[in-house]
Amino acid sequence: MATEQVKNQADFDVIAIGAGFAGLGLIHYVREAGLSIRVFDKASDIGGTWTWNRYPGAASDSECYYYCLTFSKELLQEWKWSVRYPGWEENLRYMHFVADRCNMWPHISLNTKIVSADYQEKSGLWLVRTEAGESFTCRYFISAMGMISEPVIPEFKNMTAFKGPCFHSARWPEGLDYSGKRIGIIGSGATTVQMLPVVAQTAAQVTVFQRTANFVMPAVQKPITTEWDQEIKANYDQIIQKCRNHSFGMAFDSPVGRNLSDTPPDEVQKILEEHWPRGSFRFVFETFDDLVVNAESNRVVGDFIIRKMKEKVKDAEVADLLTPKGYPFFAKRPPLDHGYFETFNRDNVKLVDINEREPIVEFTETGIRTTKQSYEFDIIVLATGFQAYTGAQEALPIRGRNGLLLKDKWKHESSSIMGVFVSGFPNLFMITGPQAPFANLPTSIEQNIHYIVDCIKKMEHESLDVCDPKPDAEAAWTAHTAEIHQMTLMAQGDKVNSWMMGANLKDKKPRVLIYFGGANNYYDKMRESARAGFPEVEFKRRA
Ligand code: NAP
């Protein structure tokens, strides 16, 4: 174990955990600021979400040309995507391309699990320890662990009784041959919506155990043709600008300046029909501006989506089960469809309602028993989601001032300042922590990095040692986030059971995890804060 070190004798200026988009982006910007950085990751490869989520069909739901890092114009011009929504393999190839071209590998330690991170009051350094027993110090400690990375493992009776492979979707075993096998999938979120159409093609039988049906919108996958690639590359400055100015960090035109509530019903249907075949989240952001704030507008668009689903699903009973009920559209993150609904027309696919009709009773040696019958499986996949926003930080003992554990600090409320700073945790920065927006992640990540690196640069230039987030600024951001949340349809009490509010976590009360005031406004607020000299934190010099 390293002993406490004195000022400026840290092993690295910056230590970050997580070698996904955030880790790679940090290496670029921190190095550019003339500081040293080491990125640790427990995974055997870089890629973050794309190194863990290797289930069949795993692909980005953001379109490729804005689901990338934008710090190098050369890289944006050089890289060519093959399809609109790249699969995990292509996303990983892209990240290797970035790491190779920018010579990032010397800054990355893979297969290195960090088991604790402690703020050392005396030296002002953070001390991180690895599972192998090494320890390193740094002046600035950054969580780049991802906002959807720590799995939720459900607890069913006798789970260990099942003899076959049973794993979380984000831990898909390498080389697993599932062809000809009987597969049970628990969960019906974005992961299952992507996975099912692929596994059903070669599996003998697939059974989906669904608790809540989703509003699912079309992805409309397509190749990136030479012409499209040229158009993208000729317009990258505008694409980046659009992302920066969009409420979800995506390269969409918005707002469209039209409310559904002010539009005649015939015209509404015409607009929805026109936009539906275009695919992507554009359907939400390029049709009407009031879909997530006006309950009646939300109902109309929700009904439209349900009607489209019913046109695809042949069996009326299955279609009824697939109909989302009792919560507004977009209160749960809507998945994008790559043939999900048509897959339920196959003879080898079955949907089981475990919410009302036949809840799961227990796992058995050979499968799953519900209140109505026993199902036999060779493989069980737990596509049960993630402990979003806080899970990764809470899984690691991070101790701030006076030994306070971040996990304990967040016991009742996952408060922060803009998802970046936490009071009581000096010189700790988070990338897309709780109370940051939910948006196209590379956009938010790069905006967060600009903000964090600007703060670090200020400290370096002004010889400041300690950046202490102010409790009153944290209380103000938390109150502001809650106030905005109340103005959305997300705040419909019990109707909304979404990971976006941590409602999927057994041991926690739902809470406001997301800033819904618009990613563009959030990016503006970070810029304003940086321009004003970071009034949300108190800077100090050490004696
Ligand atoms: P999810 O949306 O949280 O879905 C988890 C599913 O498991 C839900 O259907 C949930 O039911 C069910 N579930 C959880 N615990 C359960 C239990 N104990 N018993 C029965 N059912 C249970 O997780 P996900 O599908 O992995 O997606 C999570 C997020 O990751 C997405 O919203 C998205 O942001 C991201 N993601 C992105 C992509 C992409 O961009 N390409 C792909 C996949 C995932 P309830 O709904 O009733 O809770």
Digit-coded pLDDT (tens) for 41-68: 999 999 999 999 999 999 999 999 999 9
Burial label, 371 (beta-carbon count in 10 A; 0-12, 13-18, 19+): exposed
Question: Are 356 and 394 part of one and the same domain?
Answer: no
At residue 504, the pLDDT reads 82
Question: Are 407 and 511 part of one and the same domain?
Answer: yes
Question: Are 343 and 395 part of one and the same domain?
Answer: no
For the cut 70, the answer to whether the pLDDT of residue 494 exceeds it is: no
Atom 18 (ligand 1) nearest CA = 154
Kindly state if the Cβ of 59 falls inside 6 Å of ligand 1. yes
Q: Does residue 483 lie in a domain region?
A: yes
Number of compact structural domains in the chain? 2
Question: Are 395 and 480 part of one and the same domain?
Answer: yes
Return the SS3 of 367: strand
For the cut 90, the answer to whether the pLDDT of residue 497 exceeds it is: no
Kindly state if the Cβ of 287 falls inside 6 Å of ligand 1. no
- pLDDT tier for residue 495 given thresholds of 50, 70 and 90: low
Kindly state if the Cβ of 386 falls inside 6 Å of ligand 1. yes
At residue 256, the pLDDT reads 78
Kindly state if the Cβ of 187 falls inside 6 Å of ligand 1. yes
For the cut 90, the answer to whether the pLDDT of residue 1 exceeds it is: no
Kindly state if the Cβ of 336 falls inside 6 Å of ligand 1. no
Kindly state if the Cβ of 148 falls inside 6 Å of ligand 1. yes
DSSP string, 407-459: HHHTSS----BTTTB-TT-TTEEESS-TTB----HHHHHHHHHHHHHHHHHHH
Q: Which residue has the tokens 């879909």?
A: 291
Atom 4 (ligand 1) nearest CA = 189
At residue 106, the pLDDT reads 98
Domain containing 294: what range? Answer: 217-382
Of 382, 417, 451, the domain-final residue: 382
Ligand 1: which atom is nearest the Cα of residue 188? 9
Question: Are 344 and 403 part of one and the same domain?
Answer: no
Kindly state if the Cβ of 419 falls inside 6 Å of ligand 1. no
Question: Are 259 and 402 part of one and the same domain?
Answer: no
pLDDT tens, 338-382? Answer: 999 999 999 999 999 999 999 999 999 999 999 999 999 999 999
- pLDDT tier for residue 207 given thresholds of 50, 70 and 90: very high
pLDDT tens, 421-458? Answer: 999 999 999 999 999 999 999 999 999 999 999 999 99
Question: Are 410 and 294 part of one and the same domain?
Answer: no
- pLDDT tier for residue 522 given thresholds of 50, 70 and 90: very high
Kindly state if the Cβ of 248 falls inside 6 Å of ligand 1. no
Give CA torsion, residues 268, 273, 275, 277, to 10 deg.
170
What is the rounded distance in angstroms from the CA atom of residue 283 to the CA atom of residue 537?
Answer: 39
Kindly state if the Cβ of 211 falls inside 6 Å of ligand 1. yes
Enumerate the β-bridge partners of residue 142.
Answer: 16, 429
Atom 36 (ligand 1) nearest CA = 190
Pocket test for ligand 1, best of 362, 504, 508, 513 (most atoms within 8 A of CB): 504
Question: Are 350 and 448 part of one and the same domain?
Answer: no
CATH of the domain at 440: 3.50.50.60
At residue 493, the pLDDT reads 57
Ligand 1: which atom is nearest the Cα of residue 62? 40
For the cut 70, the answer to whether the pLDDT of residue 6 exceeds it is: no
pLDDT tens, 212-228? Answer: 999 999 999 999 999 99
At residue 3, the pLDDT reads 38
68: tokens are: 């990338």
Kindly state if the Cβ of 382 falls inside 6 Å of ligand 1. no
What amino acid occupies position 498? Answer: S
Which is nearest to 157 in space by CA: 357, 372, 359? 359
Question: Are 233 and 267 part of one and the same domain?
Answer: yes
Ligand 1: which atom is nearest the Cα of residue 384? 7
Query: Both ends of the chain: CA-CA distance in Å?
Result: 26
CA 187–ligand 1 middle distance (angstroms): 6
Burial label, 167 (beta-carbon count in 10 A; 0-12, 13-18, 19+): middle
Q: Does residue 377 lie in a domain region?
A: yes
Ligand 1: which atom is nearest the Cα of residue 214? 46
What average pLDDT does the chain have?
A: 95
What is the rounded distance in angstroms from the CA atom of residue 410 to the CA atom of residue 397?
Answer: 12
Atom 26 (ligand 1) nearest CA = 385
Kindly state if the Cβ of 216 falls inside 6 Å of ligand 1. no
Of 355, 382, 409, the domain-final residue: 382
For the cut 70, the answer to whether the pLDDT of residue 180 exceeds it is: yes
Q: Does residue 276 lie in a domain region?
A: yes
Question: Are 259 and 348 part of one and the same domain?
Answer: yes
Question: Are 256 and 307 part of one and the same domain?
Answer: yes
Kindly state if the Cβ of 117 falls inside 6 Å of ligand 1. no
Kindly state if the Cβ of 348 falls inside 6 Å of ligand 1. no
Residue ranges of alpha helices (H) inside 58-213 are 73-78, 88-101, 190-202
Kindly state if the Cβ of 189 falls inside 6 Å of ligand 1. yes
Atom 23 (ligand 1) nearest CA = 385
Query: Residue 265, CB half-sphere, CA atoms under 13 Å: how many?
Result: 5
Kindly state if the Cβ of 359 falls inside 6 Å of ligand 1. no
What is the rounded distance in angstroms from the CA atom of residue 355 to the CA atom of residue 225?
Answer: 44
Question: Are 364 and 404 part of one and the same domain?
Answer: no
For the cut 70, the answer to whether the pLDDT of residue 308 exceeds it is: yes
For the cut 60, the answer to whether the pLDDT of residue 5 exceeds it is: no
